[in-house]
Amino acid sequence: MPSYKYNDASKKVEDLLDKLGLKSRANFLPWKLSGGEKQRVAIARAVINNPQFLFLDEPTGNLDNKNANLVQDLIIQIADEYKVALILSTHDNSFAQRMDNIYKISNRNIIEV
């Protein structure tokens, strides 16, 4: 993990939370956040150290349609902005269709769709 000066790290966290619409909730305890907010916090934690890949397992599976669409948009926006490759699993075909490459697992085989 890279190390950062406190002020640099604080600014980076603040900027990322702002992009994810969570700046005003930065000091809230986890149980005070909605499901969509928790998903966005998970995204922030995952990208804060500039990884090359972001692995997501059903990132919108437990969200209502409104929050699922918001989180999907944010995932794609953050991936583009931070130049992160997305590797995700989903049962949401509309979300899958937004990806550059789609693979399906069927009968123990990986098939490009």
Neighbours of 47 (CB within 10 A): 19
Check: CB of residue 88 under 8 Å from CB of residue 59.
yes
pLDDT tens, position by position, 49-66: 889 999 999 988 888 888
Threshold 0.95, pTM exceeds: no
At residue 17, the pLDDT reads: 85
Residue 83 above 80 pLDDT? yes
Q: Fold for domain 6-112?
A: Rossmann fold (3.40.50)
Determine the Cα–Cα distance for residues 101 and 103; give it in Å rounded to an integer. Answer: 7
Band of residue 16 on the pLDDT scale cut at 50, 70, 90: confident
At residue 87, the pLDDT reads: 95
Determine the Cα–Cα distance for residues 47 and 13; give it in Å rounded to an integer. Answer: 10
At residue 4, the pLDDT reads: 59
Which tokens go with 22?
Answer: 């969570």
Burial environment of residue 99 by CB neighbours within 10 A (0 to 12, 13 to 18, 19 or more): middle
